[in-house]
Amino acid sequence: MNDPQVPRPAATVTLVREAPAGFEVLMMQRNFKSVFMPGMHVFPGGGVDLNDSAGILAQRCLHLDDKAASQQLGISSGGLAYWVAAVREAFEEAGILLACETSGHYVNLNDADKVDRFHAYREQIEKGTLHLSHMLESESLQLPLKDMIYFSHWITPMGAPRRYDTRFFVAMAPPSQKPLHDNRETINHVWIRPADALAKNKLKQFDMRTPTVFTLKLFAEHERIDSLFKSLQALGDIPVMEPRIAKNGRRVLPGDPDYEAAGSPEGRGVY
């Protein structure tokens, strides 16, 4: 049986789009019955599956191979699976498919001849009865991974019901697709400006965890997507962010005065 205190590899992707008042991010609200982060507003994401590292999927990935992906993540191998997992989770949870046709354009899921077919694909992939690779092959689709930027790395604190070692990505949402929550893991979705999400969170109207708040603060420093992407591409080495829970219940980050004390048995609070 897997130990829930051993962080599971995971990936999440922040989908962004231009808007008149400044760019927006897509946020999903998790089911209130979920064991992990019930009711929270999150970006699409989840655990990396064994199938995400299948060789046949690597053949469908453009502009990135496992060696280069692993170097970006600072691991010896298996890095490409994180990008693939982010694509798969965006499709499962949000109905957004970051895949392109042979023309090089993102697949248009609004086409009348595609709506029902891709809805069936999504359900089967979510249930585990169909692999992402099978859909990509059947539809002659490829994953343009150069369009996804890796920018952050978080590990869930000790004591959480489940722990994840999560890599964060950002990508433009395809203009020819509309998000649709799955009504299972996610029960709602919204496009929102980062600053507005942070304001709602401060008023306790929009529950979010520390990594999500941290990400939105980073994004809110920019008015346009091109500025954001340029900044994220120039980050260089990505530090590991592993929050700890102090005795008073406050989440502390590396560099905070209480961080080292929160890591000791006598200073660690209950999640």
Q: Are residues 185 and 268 in the same domain?
A: no
Identify each DSSP E strand in the chain by its residue range. Answer: 8-17, 24-30, 41-42, 45-47, 61-62, 143-144, 149-155, 164-172, 186-192, 240-241, 244-245, 251-252
Alpha carbon of 59 to those of 55, 118, 136, 208, 215: distances in Å? 7, 21, 10, 36, 31
Per-residue pLDDT, averaged over 138-142, amounts to: 96
Q: Is the dihedral of CA 53, 56, 61, 64 positive or negative?
A: positive
Confidence band, pLDDT 50/70/90 cuts, at residue 36: low
As a whole number of angstroms, the distance between CA 208 and CA 42 comes to 7
Q: Are residues 30 and 147 in the same domain?
A: yes
Q: Are residues 229 and 245 in the same domain?
A: no
Q: What is the CATH number of the domain that holds 44?
A: 3.90.79.10
Confidence band, pLDDT 50/70/90 cuts, at residue 84: very high
Residue type, 268: R
Residue listed under structure tokens 């929102």 = 192
Asked whether residue 11 carries a pLDDT value surpassing 60, the answer given is yes
Q: Are residues 271 and 155 in the same domain?
A: no
Could you tell me if 106 and 15 are in contact, meaning their C-beta atoms sit under 8 angstroms apart? no
Q: Are residues 135 and 102 in the same domain?
A: yes
Lowest mean pLDDT among 95-99, 129-133, 185-189: 185-189
What average pLDDT is seen over the chain?
89
Identify each DSSP E strand in 74-179 by its residue range. Answer: 143-144, 149-155, 164-172
Lowest mean pLDDT among 16-25, 112-121, 183-192: 183-192
- For 177, counting Cβ atoms within 10 Å of its Cβ (0-12 exposed, 13-18 middle, 19+ buried), the class is buried
As a whole number of angstroms, the distance between CA 124 and CA 51 comes to 14
Which helix (DSSP H) or strand (DSSP E) does residue 115 occupy?
A: helix 115-127
Q: Give residue-wise pLDDT tens across range 183-220.
A: 777 778 999 999 999 999 999 999 999 899 999 999 99
Q: Are residues 63 and 106 in the same domain?
A: yes
Q: 268 lies in a domain? A: yes
Lowest mean pLDDT among 62-71, 109-118, 135-144: 109-118
Q: Are residues 78 and 158 in the same domain?
A: yes
Q: 3 lies in a domain? A: no
Q: 1 lies in a domain? A: no
Q: Are residues 246 and 232 in the same domain?
A: no
As a whole number of angstroms, the distance between CA 125 and CA 134 comes to 10
Q: 198 lies in a domain? A: yes
Asked whether residue 156 carries a pLDDT value surpassing 50, the answer given is yes
Q: 128 lies in a domain? A: yes
Q: 168 lies in a domain? A: yes
Tell me, yes or no, if the pTM score tops 0.75.
Answer: yes
Q: Are residues 172 and 184 in the same domain?
A: yes
Q: 2 lies in a domain? A: no
Q: Are residues 232 and 264 in the same domain?
A: no
Q: 107 lies in a domain? A: yes
pLDDT for 270 equals 38
Q: Which domain holds residue 264?
A: 239-271
Domains of the chain: total: 2
| Bridging pattern class, strands 149-155 and 164-172 | antiparallel
Per-residue pLDDT, averaged over 96-102, amounts to: 96
Q: Are residues 155 and 170 in the same domain?
A: yes
Q: Are residues 136 and 264 in the same domain?
A: no
